[in-house]
Amino acid sequence: MWRYGRLLADSGRPLSAAQRLPPAPRADLRPAAALADALRRVAFDPAALQTVLAGADDEPELYEARAAGLPSALATAMRLFILGQPVTRADAEAALTAAGVESGAALRVLVETAEGIRATVRIVPHDIVLLASDVPAREPPAEHVAAAHAPSLTLARLTIRRRVQRALDLGTGNGIQALLLAQHADHVVAVDINERALRFTELNAALNGLRNIETRAGSFFEAVPDERFGVAVCNPPYVISPESRLLYRDADVRGDVLSEQLVREMPSYLENEAYATVLVSWVEGAAGTDPPPVRWSADGGCDALVLEFERRDPLGEATYWQGGADDAADERIASWLDFYRREGIEKIGYGAVVLRRRAGRTWQNVLAVGGGPAGHASDQLLRIFAARDALARAPIHQQRFAWAPDAVLQPARDPADGGSRVALRGGLGLRGTLDPVATAVVERLSAARPAGVAFDAAARALGRDRAALRELGEEVVAGLVELGFLVPL
């Protein structure tokens, strides 16, 4: 499987105060290929990006000092496309060749000014793609196309990676999800209401030599009427805020109305046995109740795994999105807090809903994944859905089980406890503890014999009632199977 790795994004700090956007870039395969080749020749890659930006937080002098220590051609590329600095034409041509500079001009990503050659976009090298976006600004206009950021990485990690004919990327933005889907889909439809975002998606497809991405303008599903897809993803403007300032962040509807609408409507656009992943937010309900996405997904003809990442109070939410150390930031935070008070919002939840469309009786489950996934989780998610199917086919005691290849079973930190710890490497980052009885059960599981044999063996070893131990064993195994630790054979 290909590596997506860490999708390094800008820190969110402004690198430019400009509020007027330059013309949208063009997408032409020949000059895009020439520019991409020029960047690769100077080793414009994630390692170089890490060298310049790692461990710093909006420190231009430090960035420049690090860039200056790189080979001259690479340093020039970094100054142009990462640091947003002008360079002389001679330096630009020495780094990118005259053809590379002309290609950048043809794509409208390089312009000549009185200060020299300057980039009109930011281009970031990720593990397998080059990704262009607008240059960050203090007060960006509504049409601003942001770089890949934390939710981009989260959605990439939670996307089901199977070979399909058709894939859908709703709210494509800079196109990062479409680029990744294009690696395992014959055809990708990338939808956005922001025409400027579609131009960046087209440019990014061209920079990466991808010809299987189609862009469409429209508001979510309006652009794909009566169509079905083998996999779908959506990173919508799900921030619950009083603003409608940025298309990529703020929805035209308030509260969690948009998140609910997307979860409810998505099943109609999926083929049978297809998967979709939607990032969502929600207004917390009464204490002890399931997150609202459970209700949203209950009648859509899909199994639904609701992944809960975090909960924020109003102050934490307002500060996160409007943080700063000036009077304007304080005023915006106060405005957001007033909005939350008026709406009666005391907690906001963030997470994702993974849907699988299928016939028959469906299920909904909630899984707490603190902070989001720790790694690429497609395999683990597929295992969780397949496990629910397997558990429905036969009683647990008649089935055989093995530990998943990425599962780890270790003794408890205190050997006197007699229990154990379980964890999944990467993926969803799940971990937990098993008490001594549960440990005795799972240690006796074997791929060579039914689980019931292990239950009986644990009952004898512990001197416990056979029927009671079997009931407990089935509960333990079912839980570990549903979380992806154990695999039915």
pLDDT value at 75 more than 50: yes
pLDDT value at 76 more than 90: yes
Helix spans in 3-45 (H): 29-41
Residue 143: its pLDDT value, please? 87
Edge-to-edge strand ranges of the sheet holding 420-424? 407-411, 420-424, 431-434
Tens of pLDDT, residue by residue over 214-234, are: 999 999 999 999 999 999 999
Distance CA 210, CA 130 (A): 12
Q: Are 419 and 412 in contact (CB under 8 A)?
A: yes
Gyration radius of the chain over CA positions: 25
Residue 249: its pLDDT value, please? 55
pLDDT value at 19 more than 90: no
Beta strands in 319-415 (DSSP E): 348-357, 364-368, 401-403, 407-411
Q: Which own/partner contact pairs does 310-317 have at CB distance under 8 Å and 24+ positions apart?
A: 310/349, 310/350, 310/351, 310/370, 310/371, 310/372, 311/284, 311/347, 311/348, 311/349, 311/350, 312/347, 312/348, 312/350, 313/346, 313/347, 313/348, 314/340, 314/341, 314/345, 314/346, 314/348, 317/240, 317/348
pLDDT value at 400 more than 70: yes
- Mean pLDDT computed over 382-396: 89
Tens of pLDDT, residue by residue over 329-382, are: 788 888 889 888 888 888 899 999 999 999 888 999 999 898 889 899 999 999
Helix (H, G, I), strand (E, B), or coil: what is residue 207?
helix
Helix (H, G, I), strand (E, B), or coil: what is residue 46?
helix
- Domain chopping of the chain, boundaries: 29-119, 150-391, 393-488
Residue 321: its pLDDT value, please? 77
Q: Are 299 and 362 in contact (CB under 8 A)?
A: no
Distance CA 229, CA 6 (A): 27
Helix (H, G, I), strand (E, B), or coil: what is residue 208?
coil
In the beta sheet, which residues pair with residue 122? 133
pLDDT value at 252 more than 80: no
Residue 399: its pLDDT value, please? 92
Tens of pLDDT, residue by residue over 143-193, are: 889 888 889 999 999 999 999 999 999 999 999 999 999 999 999 999 999
Closest CA to 188 of 229, 156, 134, 147: 229
Q: Residue 308 phi/psi, 5° resolution?
A: -100, 120
Residue 414: its pLDDT value, please? 66
Q: Are 193 and 164 in contact (CB under 8 A)?
A: no
Kindly indicate the confidence band of residue 18, based on its pLDDT and cuts at 50, 70 and 90: very low
Is the torsion defined by CA of 239, 244, 246, 251 positive or negative?
positive
* CATH code for the domain defined by 150-391: 3.40.50.150
Tokens linked to 30: 């020949």
pLDDT value at 288 more than 70: no
Residue 3: its pLDDT value, please? 32
Helix spans in 253-374 (H): 257-265, 292-296, 314-322, 327-343
Tens of pLDDT, residue by residue over 91-126, are: 999 999 999 999 999 999 999 999 999 999 999 998
